[in-house]
Structure 1
Amino acid sequence: MSAAFPIEILQRECPRPESDPRYDDSETRTITLPKGYKKQPEYAAFKTDTIFEKDIKIPLRDGTIIRADIFRPVRATEKLPILMAWSPYGKSGRGVFTFDHVPGRAGVARSKLSDYEKFEALDPADWVARGYAVANIDSRGAYDSEGNIVCWCSQEGRDGYDVIEELAKYDWCNGRIAMMGNSWLAIAQWFIAAERPPHLACIAPFEGASDVYREIVARGGVPTTVFMSFLRNVVVGRGTQEDINGMIKKYPSMNSYWEDKRAKVDRIDVPVYAAASYSTGLHTFGSFRGFEEASTEKKWLRIHSTQEWHDLYLETTNDELQKFFDRYLKDVDNGWENTPKVRASLYRYNKEPLVNIPFSNWPIPETRYEQFYLNANGGLQKLPPPESEQGIISYQSDVPFMQMDSDPGEVAFSYTFDKPVYILGSARVKLFMACPDHNDMDVWVQLRKADSSGKLLRQITIPAEDTGIKDDELELQNCMQYLGPSGALRASYRALDPHLSTTQFPEHNYYEKRLIERNTVVELDIGLWQTGMAFERDEKLVLKVSGHPMSLAELPMSRGTENLENRGVHQIHLGGNAPSYVAIPFVPLHA
């Protein structure tokens, strides 16, 4: 059993650092990288003379020693703030997973980066010249950092607290530390900032989940091991890592272990500049929750229209990040506070997206929800069907599927708009369902956009000029093409959690299962993750329902690997005393 939890925390061996072909050694040393230095001819050059302190040792409160690389200018006229990047993915050009494993490198050309950046973090070759020190941290257990790797929890928060306070002691540091980065680097920010380290001045979480159970490993209470099966092979170290897949198999319901992996974002009291997108299958909901619930009044949200890695390395993104960091790490009076609190994007699918639309807050205060009822003809209508038009639509829930757009066992309901409309926020679906063949159901829902002829559309998230891949040759992969927002629910977890549910999104009680009786109709309240979609007249909104995920797979190797527990037929009851519907968030917009 763990000292922190009354249950055994399962562990698995990490791949060793030597398995990373880019691993060199663990020697602590200082190197000077002159202005114009390139690791290889195809990489970006350093823009100023830079001190590179490799594998310095930083103590944690329990005596564990972890490793960091620090980059700072050779010549600095004043004390420097530090930008800290935190993850187990390796530091300064290390890492098993690289952009070379992604089609078109996600639009991030080698010439944009120095290969000294930590994966998913800002590049020191650029940021040292902007007047910052960059600290790339190998978190507990990663590579040559001592201990065992922990995943997204309060322990990681405490570790980050300790490192921030140690970094602030350097005589060349001005005592202000910020955090930045994508994915794990953003998730860690929620946990670390919630610990309130005194020298943390601000954070920039650019797309990070904030609740591991509800957003990554058991969305809607449906356990999944696909993503963690990939991730466990790209984090390396000399000890063990938490066996998240083993834990979700052994403990599929909520408990204290999983609750510890929900960041206490309401404790965050430093300025926050958060980025979000609709196109990630991991981080969308957590990015919005982190922004909404952070207690600080100084918070901003930018919902971009591309993909997280592509966005992070755009020059415009880095210039705006500098404005934010300059304000809160250097006290530069640059008007940052005039930045709109929320800037949103909306996908048009067959046209360029609408971007940087300003709003006063999130959720959008002007949001108007409208209900569309499912009917037995496969349509959506604004009035509930009367008893005389009651019906049942069924689908086979246990068919093989590949997540390559429109698998078998999916039913669809559509509505044609008679004027331009704009959807922005979280839709919510209420379904009355039964299963004659099993005592539980795993149900997925998805919203799609179709053109006037009924053809389902996909949104390409990274411009072809950046990937070098023609649109019709793009991999059917979620990071490259977005279909629409989705939601999921295991019927036995249908009871709502009144403390976490909001008007926009239902959260469920995952502590207790209530199996269903066969052929008994139950009411399922399913929230869909946030989206932004623009429709022209005669274009169609499509609601799809299925017994499997309908988003494109995150990685090609994960297609068809999901092991689900559905059996037999699922029935959707429509009309009369079973008014199944979808509630859509519309916003006024003059685009």
Structure 2
Amino acid sequence: MASSRGVFSVGGIEVAQTKISPIDDPHANYNGLNPSSTTLPKGHKKDPSRRGFEVATIWDRDVEVPMRDGIVLRADVFRPADVNEKVPALIAWSPYGKSGTGKSPCGHVAAKLLSGANHSLVSHSRAGFLGLDLVPGRVGIPKSMLSGFESFEAPDPAEWTAHGYAVVNVDARGIFKSEGNQRWNGTAEGRDGYDAVEFIASLPWCNGHVALIGVSWLAMAQWHIAAERPPHLSCILPLEGLSDMYRESLCRGGVPYLPFWHFLRDHGLYGLHTVGSIRGFEDIPHNKKWLRLHPTQEWHDLYQKETTDDLKKYLDFYTRGIKNDWEKTPKVRISVIRYNQPPTKNVPFSTWPIPQTEYKTLWLSGGQSLKDIYSTAETGEVSYQSDAPAEQVDNDPEFVEFTYSFAEKSTIIGPSKAVLYMSCTDHDDMDIFVIIRKADKNGKILQNINIPLNELGVTSEQEVQDINSLKYIGPSGILRASHRALDPKLSKPHWLAHDHRQEQKIPPGHIVKLEIGIWPAAIQFEAGEKLVFRVAGHQMTLAEFTPLRGQFHTGNKGKHTLHFGGQYDSHLVVSFVPI
């Protein structure tokens, strides 16, 4: 119920607005207000294909949640029926529509979205809610595993009411059944969250302890709500959420990702993979925090029993006062992927960045090699066509690569950094893309499947679609050369942050030093396997969805030349950790 397009400003800065689907749109999944309280009996199923509730559950539907400015949000509350004590509340703060109670979770557009055919139809799902049908194989989560009452990227009420928790699915401001204009993260959404936390805590069934939980946007919102410090917020569980919109998604490295963000504007989808959770862990200024990096895609991980058990232990401690040994849990647990071999799960560490990290410098050298000994005498240059078309399907041409072979088992855990000396005779700027790939002993470039094959319902890697949610190919970095100035306040010894408030154009042909941060990874290499470092003028990761293939266009022109050796000590700094 957001307003139509108009002029809206904050601090004198005009804020763009756009219409959402009207409530009478046939695909909007809007079925009107229906405030009611219903008891779902033990074993209740939304339909025969779905998971049943393990305990009798009260479903309070379209509960009014008042905001300080008079706007009313609406929530669905699922709480255990046959309990004598008050229970904690788990709030899922969502822009996707609460509780899966509409007609269809975008199944009518999923096939078109994934095939790329007529994807303008996807815009109809904006006022409704998204679902796992967006991804082939539902990321390994069959319908029978969930009740269908869960919000997208949120906990399943059928699971958590059985553990003695209430699940509160909130339509954020301007979404579905909530009044007002939709907020795009930030302090305003944080204030809304504060009001919701305090209201839910005051309800007669709540024990006064509220937690926030969810993935992606549902995690991002938690940073802003927690920053407002609502008194009854006991803990947060931001499971995969970016924390710097500009640097991590909208304009990474200063290069606008326009196709993806036009897609978001038109269709209401949001990023799948971010570095924000790590940054959030580092920057939270106290020690009651834990970081777990898991080996499968985030939606898949959310509903695994191992994950549920872990979250329950945490929540029991902070919202129910159960004296378990949660606080003895290692502060950092890292799962190391091996590229389609079983991962090494939950390697414990005391903090992040990992104290045992050994930063190793590998110099770009002749013969397309990376060497751990620098030679000033060995100089060279290589070039690629920077404006060649790219489809983001892992076989695009026009890149240069350098390879390092491991003499013994080695493990990368953490971010990396590329320092490159580059020039372009045809333009005054360069958009540079880098990636670290893993190759086997024979030099074959590998991909990591993010979901076990049997859970996807396939038998071979070749059957898995080449999209970013299903395949991970390696950590990447991006930088627009004119944005090369670093931000000394945000940069850390192990992580680069660029300023992005000044533009330093480059005279054509001038050689410039570029420092490019590469996102964190946890990858194991066996003896004889290879690290392959690639540089290109186009994005080398897989597209998020098939309609985005070939849509990422840069500002590049002509050839880019990479210089190494002598006074141009182009190199890669990699974080190795002995395990």
Whole-angstrom CA distance in 1 between matches of 2:304 and 2:22:
33
How far is 1:282 from its partner? 4.7
1:98 correspondence with 2:88:
no
How far is 1:285 from its partner? 1.1
2:66 corresponds to: 59
How far is 1:64 from its partner? 1.1
1:9 correspondence with 2:15:
yes
Does the 8 Å CA contact 1:307/1:461 hold for their aligned counterparts? yes
1:163 maps to amino acid: A
What secondary structure, in the 3-state scheme, does the structure 2 residue paired with 1:168 have?
Answer: helix
2:533 corresponds to: 543
How far is 1:391 from its partner? 1.2
1:491 correspondence with 2:481:
yes
Whole-angstrom CA distance in 2 between matches of 1:6 and 1:397:
39
Whole-angstrom CA distance in 1 between matches of 2:161 and 2:23:
27
Whole-angstrom CA distance in 1 between matches of 2:268 and 2:483:
32
1:419 correspondence with 2:426:
no
How far is 1:482 from its partner? 0.6
What secondary structure, in the 3-state scheme, does the structure 2 residue paired with 1:426 have?
Answer: strand
RMSD: 1.5
2:125 corresponds to: none
TM value normalised by structure 1: 0.90
Q: Sort the Cα spacing of 1:177 and 1:482 in 2 relative to 1 into closer, same or farther, 3 A.
A: same
What secondary structure, in the 3-state scheme, does the structure 2 residue paired with 1:145 have?
Answer: coil
2:16 maps to amino acid: L
Whole-angstrom CA distance in 2 between matches of 1:151 and 1:17:
21
2:33 counterpart (26, 29, 38): 26
1:156 counterpart (179, 186, 189): 189
Cα deviation digits, residues 218-277 of structure 1 (max 9, x gap): 0001111233333334549xxxxxxxxxxxxxxxxxxxxxxxxxxxxxxxxxxxxxxxxx
Structure 1 segment 62-461 matched on structure 2, within 5 A: 62-93=69-100, 94=102, 95-235=128-268, 282-386=272-376, 388-461=377-450
TM value normalised by structure 2: 0.92
Does the 8 Å CA contact 2:89/2:210 hold for their aligned counterparts? yes
What secondary structure, in the 3-state scheme, does the structure 2 residue paired with 1:205 have?
Answer: strand
Does the 8 Å CA contact 2:146/2:156 hold for their aligned counterparts? yes
1:469 counterpart (458, 469, 477): 458
1:239 corresponds to: none
What secondary structure, in the 3-state scheme, does the structure 1 residue paired with 2:249 have?
Answer: helix
1:31 maps to amino acid: T
| Percent of aligned positions that are identical | 48
What secondary structure, in the 3-state scheme, does the structure 2 residue paired with 1:163 have?
Answer: helix
Whole-angstrom CA distance in 2 between matches of 1:305 and 1:484:
13
Aligned residues: 545
1:509 counterpart (499, 503, 506): 499
1:553 corresponds to: 543
Does the 8 Å CA contact 1:14/1:235 hold for their aligned counterparts? no
Q: Sort the Cα spacing of 1:411 and 1:466 in 2 relative to 1 into closer, same or farther, 3 A.
A: same
2:124 corresponds to: none
Whole-angstrom CA distance in 1 between matches of 2:206 and 2:517:
45
Long gaps (5+) in structure 2: 1-6, 103-127
1:398 maps to amino acid: D
2:173 maps to amino acid: R
Whole-angstrom CA distance in 2 between matches of 1:486 and 1:222:
14
How far is 1:162 from its partner? 1.0
Does the 8 Å CA contact 2:129/2:152 hold for their aligned counterparts? no
Whole-angstrom CA distance in 1 between matches of 2:174 and 2:378:
61
2:545 maps to amino acid: L
Cα deviation digits, residues 104-148 of structure 1 (max 9, x gap): 000011001111001110011111111011110000100121111
Does the 8 Å CA contact 2:75/2:168 hold for their aligned counterparts? yes
Cα deviation digits, residues 5-27 of structure 1 (max 9, x gap): 33110111112344446432222
How far is 1:281 from its partner? 6.7
What secondary structure, in the 3-state scheme, does the structure 1 residue paired with 2:211 have?
Answer: strand
Does the 8 Å CA contact 2:272/2:469 hold for their aligned counterparts? no
Cα deviation digits, residues 67-97 of structure 1 (max 9, x gap): 1111112222111110000011001104442
Whole-angstrom CA distance in 1 between matches of 2:195 and 2:259:
33
Long gaps (5+) in structure 1: 237-279
How far is 1:411 from its partner? 1.1
1:528 corresponds to: 518
2:142 maps to amino acid: A
1:257 corresponds to: none
Cα deviation digits, residues 191-233 of structure 1 (max 9, x gap): 1111111110001111010111111110001111233333334
What secondary structure, in the 3-state scheme, does the structure 2 residue paired with 1:542 have?
Answer: strand
